[in-house]
Amino acid sequence: MVEQLSPSVRSIPSTPLVEKSVSVYAPASVGNIGPGFDTLGMAVTGMGDTLTGFLEKREGADRITSISGAWTSLPTDPSQNTATIAARYLLDKAGYPDLKLTVSIQKGVPGSGLGSSAASAVGGAMLAQLLLGSPFGDSDLLDAAAQSESSVSGGYFLDNVSASLFGGISVSNSRLREAFRFGGFSGLFLVFLIPRALLKTSESRKAIPPDVPLDRAIGALANSAGLLTAVHLGNPDLFCRMLQDPLIQPYRKKLIPFFDDLEKVSREAGARSFIISGAGSTMMALTDNPQDARTIQETLEKYVQYKQIPVLVRSSTIDSEGARHVATPHL
């Protein structure tokens, strides 16, 4: 089931494309997938970043010409933006410090906890890869995106970047700096509740104590193994039953206003599981029944409107493709 990645730097010489625009799309992702803290990740449909850029030989730094569609303000300084940090890492590694990137970023990730910074990091890495004529292997792209993501998120973890890069469900080991695409999976219907308030991953990581109870750690380990078994067997019902996080969620949910309320309403409307997406504040309700997913979405939309809770409701499924080359949009 686990798919091997291509090794580091390929031996084929590559030729950079100069002054030619290329576009890439990198999907949003759910870090942790509940119990798999820092180790499991899932790419999702309908949300992601599109990056368009070109290389030229010039003095100075890389440039971000525009960031559109962002729901919160993002850095346009290339040394602070995950897209350009990842791209620069690969451009330097390939031996082209004199080639400078000019990029525009169309954000399509409308909240915290959906791997937004990771989607841009993966997009930046893939853009550099394509503009350089694909000299790198998957592990280099993963490394570039992870280095970039770690500069903003308060830790080195690969769950979001591996899912966004490879698509489907990924398994990662940040200590060994390795990640794998575990597989694609159909038959799951996701409903996201996306608060309109920023919760930085670095802040949400501080809510977790350094020591955690052994029984809860064992529970999370068992559920993580159960999730992968469900993917291996292609069993959405088992996946729904295993999607519970007794380890990290109890600490983090205190940072998320209306969490208990929204969980109760989602479950009453038919959700089979309810977890924090990534580090929050986005939450995810899950079902294996498409009709139930529609009911959950409609019920939640009415509920948040009635209670005036500033939360966006979005339906989605698993994106099995991961980061990809796309046609350049008309800017």
Binder of ligand LJ64HWYM out of 24, 25, 26, 32 (CB under 6 A): 32
CA quadruple 205, 296, 47, 232: dihedral sign = positive
Query: According to the binding rule CB under 6 A, does residue 108 interact with ligand ADP?
Result: no
Q: Are 41 and 183 in contact (CB under 8 A)?
A: no
Please tell me whether residue 5 binds ligand ADP under the rule CB under 6 A: no
Residues 6+ apart with CB under 8 A from 34: 40, 223, 227, 243, 244, 245, 249, 273, 275, 276
Region for 164 from its dihedrals, namely left if φ exceeds 0, alpha if ψ lies in -120 to 50, beta otherwise: alpha
Separation between Cα atoms, residue 93 and residue 59, nearest integer Å: 18
Site for ligand ADP in 58-77 (CB under 6 A): 74-75
Which x/- pattern, by CB under 6 A, does the window 22-61 give for ligand ADP?
----------------------------------------
Please choose which of ligand LJ64HWYM, ligand ADP, none residue 224 contacts, taking the beta carbon within 5 to 8 angstroms, the exact cut-off set by kind: none
Closest to ligand ADP by CB, 84 or 287: 84
Which residue number has the CB closest to ligand ADP?
120
Q: Does 108 bind ligand LJ64HWYM (CB under 6 A)?
A: no
Residue 25 contacts residue 109 (beta carbons within 8 Å) = no
Transcribe 160-189 into DSSP letters: HHHHHHH-SEEEEETTTTEEEEEE---S-E
Out of ligand LJ64HWYM, ligand ADP, none, which partner does residue 266 contact, by CB within 5 to 8 A per kind?
none
Closer Cβ to ligand ADP, 151 or 289, answer by number: 151
- Give yes or no for residue 278 binding ligand ADP (CB under 6 A): yes
32 binds, among ligand ADP, ligand LJ64HWYM, none (CB under 5 to 8 A by kind): ligand LJ64HWYM
d(CA 172, CA 175): 9
Window contacting ligand LJ64HWYM (CB under 6 A); options: 111-119, 139-147, 189-197, 314-322: 111-119
Beta carbon nearer to ligand LJ64HWYM, 43 or 313: 43
- Give the residue among 192, 191, 183 at the shortest CA–CA distance from 289: 191
| Burial of 55 (C-beta count, 10 Å sphere; 0-12/13-18/19+) | buried
- Residue the block writes with tokens 């670095």: 202
Q: Is 85 exposed, middle or buried (0-12, 13-18, 19+ CB in 10 A)?
A: buried
The residue from 138, 140, 159, 288 that contacts ligand LJ64HWYM (CB under 6 A) is 159
Binding span for ligand LJ64HWYM by CB under 6 A among 89-97, 110-118, 293-301, 311-319:
110-118
Which residue, 222 or 255, has its beta carbon nearer to ligand ADP? 255
Q: Does 134 sit behind a cis peptide bond, omega within 30 degrees of 0 on the bond before it?
A: no
Minimum distance between the CB of residue 38 and ligand LJ64HWYM, rounded to whole angstroms?
4
Query: CB under 8 Å to 298, separation ≥6 — which residues?
Result: none
- Residue numbers at the binding site for ligand LJ64HWYM (CB under 6 A): 31-32, 38, 112-115, 153, 157, 159-160, 201, 205, 278-279
- Residue numbers at the binding site for ligand ADP (CB under 6 A): 74-75, 80-83, 105, 112-113, 115-118, 120, 152-153, 200-202, 278
